[in-house]
Structure 1
């Protein structure tokens, strides 16, 4: 699609409408600045809890209860506030917006002390399915970035009849341990420095002792032109104080490298994902011009979306946390993918 046409389509809600939606949808603080980016004093209120699978999940549920569900998944090391300005736009458009804390974040907790603090790919997929089942949501649009994009993509790929559409930042991120055995070019490997750091006892201890400082460094490297302030970072960093956060993070990256075992309960899911299934539901993928995190080129994954599909490139110094840095564009993609159904 022509980028100029995309830009015209994205200018779809006034700041006043955004403010009204925010005031009605479970926020505290100033609703939104003229840019569409709210100040750090704006936070989600009324975080709910629901038992789902092995977790007691903390989540936000806003907008009309009978609206079409949109489930948004955050990444590492971010939290639900990545969607603080996306949610009111979608709620104002009549959608029910649901944003869960992933395992190891915010108020989400394991129901049993005996459950492995496992961060393998399929564990998050299983969590998401159990979460949707607990909420009795039979069909939804799913969207996300970073780890959240992987979660949303696995759902859409494995259960196409259950999802109206997908919006994924950086496209097709489904992986496998076998696939991760193949080395990348040296410059690409350099971007994964923290993955190798986490493979060591020193790295685990370092992340545990310096979680907030480490996360802030990742934010800065992944979004080098995003001038976020201390309060904006701390609003999300509070979610990293979850008692299981470090264990989940370390497990995730060690599992990818084949250095940590998975759980038998997830073997079937991992086998399905290791086959790299196509995504046949309507999908929009997005990439930004200042994404400093490792990410594939759009041409590398376009064929994984054989159905109704668009890719959108964002300009203007937008980094890795696209939903928080460009909330209007991300929300517009969700509104547009709904039209592709």
Structure 2
């Protein structure tokens, strides 16, 4: 059984909880989780990485679990989220790391690669591609494309609305995201709520047994979904603050993994096509029969791809 140490770091004006495993002299690999998950979403990767000799660092991202959860929306923009990890790397004395991110952890990882071209020596992202800074804020584009019908990201924008629905029953909300994420894309009127017309699974998906589900839910008990939703409420601020990165390219060796049944692949089809123009050294793999929760749904395949990449490109 893998042994973990929990570190509570004072960084960037918050407390950041980081779980650490693996040999002390191992090359550092950071694993950044997304929404609405927690550090435990990497439970299948940590033992494999530690056994292969890597030192693994798994933060509870700002707004989740034991880490601080500021209330201000502006406290969750991308550069602030990156600064949490940058200062944590400083605290651990890291000079050369591999950065891995899934879902919302992927944009943080992409931008850390841009901001830290020397320290981030290799990059692995899952589910969310990158094609550079858009010409307009993503939320503005979404309003133009989806203004006439429901879009869950636009629904998340109004403070107090989505969290009231999600916080009413945390277990039901997590079962929806984990077991029927495709329902978020089904057509319905623009003034709908998230759960309107949606079937909530009666049981958990096979990749998330009850004991694991309880770890996920603890990331939200007592604080609700507002801090996590605030990540979605910074598209305009992110766009404004990243102007200096508009022409930047990802130069590190990069592995990108996507499930063929991941609805993000449909939403980001244009970005996927453009990604090779902005990522200089890119390897891509599509995992068959796999949805959005890729590192849990196809843990062995992800571990194989991840370790193969690390042994070849993170030397």
Q: TM-score scaled to structure 2, two decimals?
A: 0.79
Task: Check conservation: 1:66, 1:96, Cα contact below 8 A.
Answer: yes
How many Å separate the matches in 2 of 1:85 and 1:203?
31
Instruction: Tell me, yes or no, if the aligned pair for 1:154 and 1:174 is still in contact at 8 Å.
Output: no
What displacement does 1:177 show?
9.2
Distance 1:231 1:330, change over 3 A: same
CA deviations over 1:246-292 (Å, ceiling 9, x no partner): 33233222222x4xxx5xxx89853334x162110000111111213
Change beyond 3 A, Cα 1:175–1:90: same
Aligned counterpart for 1:285 among listed residues 246, 256, 266: 256
Residues 1:295 and 1:152: Cα distance change in structure 2 (over 3 Å): farther
CA distance in 1, matches of 2:132, 2:285: 19
Pairing partner for 2:7 from 44, 48, 60: 48
Question: Structure 1 residues 313 and 60 mapped into 2: Cα distance closer, same or farther (>3 Å)?
Answer: same
State the shift of 1:242 in Å.
5.6
Confirm whether residue 247 of structure 1 aligns to residue 226 of structure 2: yes
Structure 1 residues not aligned, in runs of 5+: 1-22, 27-44
TM-score calculated relative to the size of structure 1: 0.74
Alignment match of 2:114 (pick from 153, 157, 161): 157
2-structure distance, mates of 1:188, 1:319: 26
Q: Structure 1 52/189 Cα, relative in aligned 2: closer, same or farther at 3 Å?
A: farther
Kept in 2, the 8 Å contact 1:146–1:169? The answer is: yes
Aligned match for 1:336, one of 295, 305, 308? 308
CA RMSD for the aligned pairs? 3.1
- 1:16-31 mapped onto 2 (5 Å cutoff): 23=1, 25-26=2-3
- Residue equivalent to 2:295: 323
Q: 2:20 aligns with which of 61, 71, 91?
A: 61
2:106 is paired with a residue of what secondary structure?
helix
Aligned length: 287
Gaps of 5+ in 2: 184-203
- 2:28–2:56 contact (8 Å) kept in structure 1: yes
Q: Is the 8 A contact 1:153 1:172 kept in 2?
A: yes
User: 1:153 touches 1:174 (CA, 8 Å); kept in 2?
Assistant: no
1:233 aligns with 2:213: yes
**Is the Cα–Cα contact under 8 Å of residues 131 and 274 in structure 2 kept in the other structure?**
no
Q: Is the 8 A contact 1:220 1:226 kept in 2?
A: yes
